[in-house]
Amino acid sequence: MDVSDKFENKLMDINQGSSSKNDIIKKFDDLADTFDEFSKGSGYTALKYCSTLLSKHIPDRKANILDFGCGTGLVGEQLYQLGFQNIDGFDCAPKCLQVAENKQIFKRLFCEFFSGQTLNLATDFYDGLICVGGFFPSGLKANCFREWIRIVKPGGYILNAMRRSFLETCLDFNDGKLEGEMKALESDGKWKLILTEEFEAGRKEWNMILFLHQIL
């Protein structure tokens, strides 16, 4: 089994199974010590692709960026390499956040399990928010969108990327449910869709779709 296959097995272990809070946190924390090694050796390109795209829309490298569902900080690493200086991370798994903290690239790290609540984060603070891979069957749901909109300032950007297949197979997302929630918020004047794009991320199972919105 090559590195790509091993990484896919780790991802699928997260993507499937129990949706209980404690089980999800344990799954992520059990991977904390090895996740970076497998990710970087697997050929998975979504992290770099999404970070680069966001950087093209936010030229100010002193902008405040939140990596939502940051895990061990792999997206943060990409943003840091692109020159961003003020990166925060948010995740539910304390062991993953310890790995992220050791990289010394984050200004602040927040550990909390998100289930739709109002977070202890300032309104209109961030210039950009990025979430890569946070939407999966037992992961984030559309109830995060309003909270994301609250903490990102008008004119700021939100980039959300997920596996394309989950839009069809996940009961919370399929039949247009997830995109319908996005469009409803656009109709309410909360944000506007700048770009939606499908892209390959290293192997067929990793084909992704991203949504880039700007806050109004």
| Cβ-defined contacts of 178-184 (< 8 Å, 24+) | 178/135, 178/142, 181/142, 181/145, 182/142, 182/145, 182/211, 182/213
CA angle 143, 141, 92 (to 5 degrees): 100
Which percentage of the chain shows pLDDT scores above 90?
72
Spans of the chain, pLDDT less than 50? none
CA angle 93, 12, 133 (to 5 degrees): 60
Whole-number Å distance between alpha carbons of 166 and 59: 31
Written as one letter, the residue type at 9 is N
In terms of Cα–Cα distance, which of 167, 162, 168 is closest to 199?
162
Check if the beta carbon of residue 203 is closer than 8 Å to that of residue 51: no
pLDDT at residue number 55: 98
pLDDT at residue number 204: 79
The model's pLDDT over 158-181, given as tens digits with 9 standing for 90+, comes to 999 999 999 988 888 999 999 999
Which percentage of the chain shows pLDDT scores above 70?
93
pLDDT at residue number 4: 66
User: What are the residue ranges spanned by the domains of the chain?
Assistant: 44-215
- H or E element that contains 66: strand 64-68
Under CATH, what is the fold of the domain 44-215? Answer: Rossmann fold (3.40.50)
